Structure 1
């Protein structure tokens, strides 16, 4: 923690000059500087929450100032940081963020690391909640009843995903919506990028009539840990989640989630944010497909998917059609398609995209609104699978940039990413002559 000592000493002297310990993040820059450093410091990663830390720092300052010291050194800073860490740690508890995967199907509960995909009838779900909350079954029944009556009548009629977090209450509340949204999005990407057409969802199990399931439940052992909040996104995840019984897919889900939600690369997050945008646009496009609003066609979902590709793979000035045709043929591997066929599909997709953006032309020709077989529908689905396959390689691409950035200061991580893509473009652009 030596990199924090100077900030602590600056804060101690600042407090000494002010003559009191009632400091605030807004008015006292040394406090602001220390809090911002603590927020990204690996030693405090599992205990830090800004509001609690601000209050505890003021308490620690009062302890130090009451000793009447005139000057401060590194030993004082180390003691201060140790006391702060222990105070923060006391408030850490085990929580579960639990939310519905609306319309999904799952034949058995799956547990992997900090994730539990919960299925079964209400009794079976309550049995799992009893174990997760480490309470009596009567307590779990009481809590489930409260959730059904006061928050979400249909919450327990869908498969649920529970994510375990050991942290501060405020931290858990702050990340709950983010964790649940991107979990849903990652599942969609893995299914469309790696699994489809296996495990196609049953037409019978569609969740019709049980749509009031758009809340999140924060769960724990103590009653004070229990809370609810609106999801603020469409929780629909109309997938057959039995594919997660295959170890490859559950491990991939966990790895992508950890990379995006916890690790996120060191320092610059711009590459991570590119992939987060990709997952977001994919989920939104799938939601629009499912709603099938009158006269919608494919244009808006297609625009969302192409925006995702551009966000991840292109600079603003890059030519879209030719460059993405080459990059997808290099970066994505599909068992049933040659590289030239991937490039041809991208070329066609960007023709449709341009017709819509520049001329308002909707795509209806050969399009079946139920997404059954058809030339246009299949082309669109293939492109969605390309994007999802790319997103399924998130961990690989972020790790690649991390490795290439180590030990050098000449290029930013964004520049390293674009250098890698440019190299793929140079190696593969001859494919344009074959399409």
Structure 2
């Protein structure tokens, strides 16, 4: 089999572009095939619909003090960060059907919350975030968030508070995703529950799409947009990649950098092993609706949190003469129609009764065929059984993407981590150091 490039990267999200950049740095020729008409995947900055303000539609926040790969990119490109929210906040809480201007738990529930957080932190200390979870004895923690709290006997008010926390961290119902995913992220945050919830507030001044473009420029790669891949077949001589339009490319090594849930939509020959395909078929329960709004009469320093509300969190990002540019995170069980301005106004008024929503913008990543979910949160039972399989090379095919990260699963730093690892593995294939038979 002749070769058109040294490496083909399938998927032009942050992770795939990191892999391409590192391979380019090493002098290799790279082709990137991206299904969409843009790079970035689930990291996407664009103007608010019908306006000039740039908003982050997908992945946004970083904490370079605990995100080493993000810190490396900040240093390489001299990137600036800005805090999304901070200072003297007007904190509002909606719990138990009531809007409160003070911390929503009182009396014995404060002590019950302390006990619950202690048990969560203690469990997080069992997790080594730098080792695949199936290489550790963690199956008893790989249960749903709901089951974990059931086993602790968590009282109703505290459970509601933790569910808000979990809803914000997942975009899924507490019965749908694994506590081991949450504990892994807490462990990566130096075992800080608060850090996982509230310490990641920095975003890139230039926007995530511009960051991806910087890496793409440095890669020297040929980039083909609107080129979804339908088939990947390998033999002893190399890998042939075919797009949905019928274009065929050949290379000695391939990086698959699509979301995990998209793997079943690609025909692999030979087929990928079952320990990869079972979690891929299980999919991603994360379906957060990150909603941007122009809101009139919104308190300027509002920071709102709730459970049983449409938004688990909401705050203004920019002030404009015609209203605040605000961001709301809509998590299940809410079925809010984020295109309905009246419904959005009712949702915002759960925290700010005087507010009116006059414009909105969002993207449904769960319905996006090239994402099939927001950031990955693993269903129960997957990490403790299959984590190491996700990033394992299969012959000449290696895997990238935040979904196959080891430390920061689903996060921007995880995307960079997995892209760097995939580039190293692809170089090993090219150099004959990685068995391909």
TM-score above 0.5: no
The answer to which structure has the higher helix fraction is 1
- Structure 1 or 2, whichever has the larger Rg, is 1
Q: TM-score normalized by structure 1? A: 0.23
The answer to which structure has the higher strand fraction is 2
Q: TM-score normalized by structure 2? A: 0.23
